[in-house]
């Protein structure tokens, strides 16, 4: 194949990511479970890279979890999202950066729907005006927060103090990546690498020195399933999906799991604990679990941020084995301190999982 043809072919798997002036909208899940990740994202973008990132205090949930659990109608979800577009427009920004894959998928679904059904967009504009007297322009660029970190992965590596390699042996750390279903399965051309060659996390891992592990259930859902986790009677669905992935990745002995969506790291972290309590099974070495990270946490570690500023103490599976392998110094005694240095006690030890 000629080089030009090949380049054209791969263009289908690339996406345009704005390089500055971002309107940032937060994630309901990430704020509750991985708040340090959102703090780290803003620090990396604003302080390390000098980017203009604006957060409007009056933005809200996109309703995505309620929409995909089917209690929020599509028209309502679209109108709430239209309100986000309106306050972005009023603020003078054009590049929308959501911190959540469910949000990113919903925004994408809405924009694609409006392309195919302009009468739906007109109806939503009427709803929004009737409810809020607001109007909006659609974003010129929509990129998930991980797309932005991906875009600047080389700059992060250049500023980095640590790499994804074993500091004693030089061995690249083996990383399982999990991109989250709604990033590119619904609209493949909106994600870096599409649904077939998702590269948003792989690009970071390779740039920062790690080795990506391929395994049979790499693209299987983490098991959120919205109503399948939210309702207690259904949680076996959620757990069984994560279990399928752990069993599939275990023979490859990954050093860590890197995630894209805010929900996936919570499930992949907590279900390891629950499986250990129920079955006595652990998936890391020596009774430990496989540490699970958000991409902001991993970028922060590469940049040398304090692990406890990143919020690694909020994980159920201990992250210290990865810090030790990367040669990152940390103060174990400071793990459970508050902002002022006072002790907050510490979590009880699980029965099986070593933490």
Partner 1 sequence: MGALYDKLMQDVRFVEGLKACINCGTCTAICPAASFYRYDPRSVTDIVQTRDEAAIEALLKGEEIWYCGECMSCKTRCPRGNTPGLIICALRSLSQDLGYFTESEKGRQQLAVKRTVGQWILDHGYCLYLEGVGTDLHPEQGSVWDWIQQNWHAVFERMGANYQGEGPGILRKIPEETLDEIRKIFEVSGGMDRFSSIEKHSEMKAREMGLAFDGTNDCEYFSHVYKTNKKDHQQ
Interacting positions 251-270 with partner 1 (CB under 8 A): 270
Nearer to partner 1, 141 or 306 (CB): 306
Among 130, 158, 168, 169, binds partner 1 (CB under 8 A): 130
Which residue, 222, 215, 258, is CA-closest to 240? 222
Does residue 21 touch partner 1 according to CB under 8 A?
Answer: no
* Residue showing tokens 């791969």: 10
Among 223, 291, 307, 321, binds partner 1 (CB under 8 A): 223
**How would you list the strands of the sheet with 22-25, edge to edge?**
53-54, 22-25, 95-98, 141-142
3-class secondary structure, 241: helix
Hey, what are 125's tokens?
A: 């504009």
Among 19, 48, 55, 206, binds partner 1 (CB under 8 A): 55
Q: Kindly state the smallest distance separating residue 30's Cβ from partner 1, in Å.
A: 9
Among 15, 144, 153, 182, binds partner 1 (CB under 8 A): 182
Query: 337: which strand partners?
Result: 343
Question: For the chain, what is the largest distance between any 2 Cα atoms, rounded to a whole number of angstroms?
Answer: 64
Among 19, 21, 48, 60, binds partner 1 (CB under 8 A): 60
Displacement of CA 204 from its chain's centroid (Å)? 13
Q: How far apart are CA 148 and CA 84, in angstroms?
A: 20
Q: How far apart are CA 56 and CA 84, in angstroms?
A: 9
Does residue 274 touch partner 1 according to CB under 8 A?
Answer: yes
Does residue 329 touch partner 1 according to CB under 8 A?
Answer: no
Nearer to partner 1, 274 or 328 (CB): 274
Q: Kindly state the smallest distance separating residue 230's Cβ from partner 1, in Å.
A: 6
Q: How far apart are CA 293 and CA 268, in angstroms?
A: 10
Among the listed ranges 2-10, 56-64, 135-143, 168-176, the one in contact with partner 1 (CB under 8 A) is 56-64
Among the listed ranges 12-20, 155-163, 164-172, 344-352, the one in contact with partner 1 (CB under 8 A) is 344-352
* Residue showing tokens 């074993």: 166
Among 308, 324, 330, 354, binds partner 1 (CB under 8 A): 308
C-alpha dihedral sign at 98, 184, 65, 83:
positive
Does residue 186 touch partner 1 according to CB under 8 A?
Answer: yes
Displacement of CA 146 from its chain's centroid (Å)? 7
C-alpha dihedral sign at 305, 143, 77, 231:
negative
Q: How far apart are CA 203 and CA 114, in angstroms?
A: 31
Does residue 157 touch partner 1 according to CB under 8 A?
Answer: no
Nearer to partner 1, 210 or 276 (CB): 276
Q: Kindly state the smallest distance separating residue 18's Cβ from partner 1, in Å.
A: 20
Among 12, 20, 35, 90, binds partner 1 (CB under 8 A): 35
Total of chain residues touching partner 1, rule CB under 8 A:
93
- Assess contact for 308 and 300: CB atoms under 8 A: no
Q: Kindly state the smallest distance separating residue 344's Cβ from partner 1, in Å.
A: 4
Nearer to partner 1, 166 or 220 (CB): 220
Does residue 347 touch partner 1 according to CB under 8 A?
Answer: yes
Q: Kindly state the smallest distance separating residue 140's Cβ from partner 1, in Å.
A: 22
3-class secondary structure, 178: strand
């Amino acid at each position: 194949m000629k080089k030009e043809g090949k380049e054209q072919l791969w263009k289908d798997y690339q996406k345009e990511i704005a390089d500055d002036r971002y309107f940032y909208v937060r994630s309901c899940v990430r704020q509750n479970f991985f708040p340090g990740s959102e703090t780290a994202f803003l620090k990396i973008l604003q302080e390390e890279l000098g980017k203009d990132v604006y957060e409007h205090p009056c933005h809200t949930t996109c309703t995505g979890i309620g929409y995909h659990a089917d209690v929020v109608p599509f028209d309502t979800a679209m109108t709430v999202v239209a309100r986000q577009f309106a306050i972005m427009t009023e603020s003078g920004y054009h590049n929308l950066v959501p911190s959540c894959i469910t949000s990113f998928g919903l925004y994408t679904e809405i924009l694609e729907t409006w392309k195919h059904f302009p009468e739906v967009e007109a109806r939503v504009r009427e709803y929004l005006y009737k409810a809020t007297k607001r109007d909006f322009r659609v974003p010129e660029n929509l990129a998930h927060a991980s797309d932005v970190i991906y875009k600047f992965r080389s700059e992060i590596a250049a500023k980095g103090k640590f790499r994804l390699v074993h500091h004693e042996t030089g061995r690249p750390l083996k990383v399982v990546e999990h991109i989250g279903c709604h990033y590119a399965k619904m609209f493949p051309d909106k994600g870096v690498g599409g649904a077939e060659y998702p590269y948003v996390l792989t690009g970071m891992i390779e740039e920062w020195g790690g080795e990506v592990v391929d395994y049979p259930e790499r693209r299987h859902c983490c098991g959120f399933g919205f109503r399948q986790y939210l309702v207690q009677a259904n949680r076996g669905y959620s757990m069984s999906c994560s279990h399928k992935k752990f069993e599939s990745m275990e023979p490859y002995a990954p050093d860590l799991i890197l995630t894209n969506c805010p929900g996936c790291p919570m499930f992949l972290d907590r279900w390891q604990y629950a499986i250990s309590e129920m079955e006595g099974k652990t998936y890391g070495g020596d009774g430990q679990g496989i540490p699970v990270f958000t991409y902001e946490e991993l970028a922060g570690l590469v940049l040398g941020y304090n692990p406890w500023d990143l919020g690694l103490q909020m994980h159920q599976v201990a992250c210290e084995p990865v810090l030790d392998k990367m040669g990152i110094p940390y103060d174990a005694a400071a793990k459970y301190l508050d902002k002022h240095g006072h002790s907050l006690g510490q979590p009880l030890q699980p029965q099986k999982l070593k933490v």
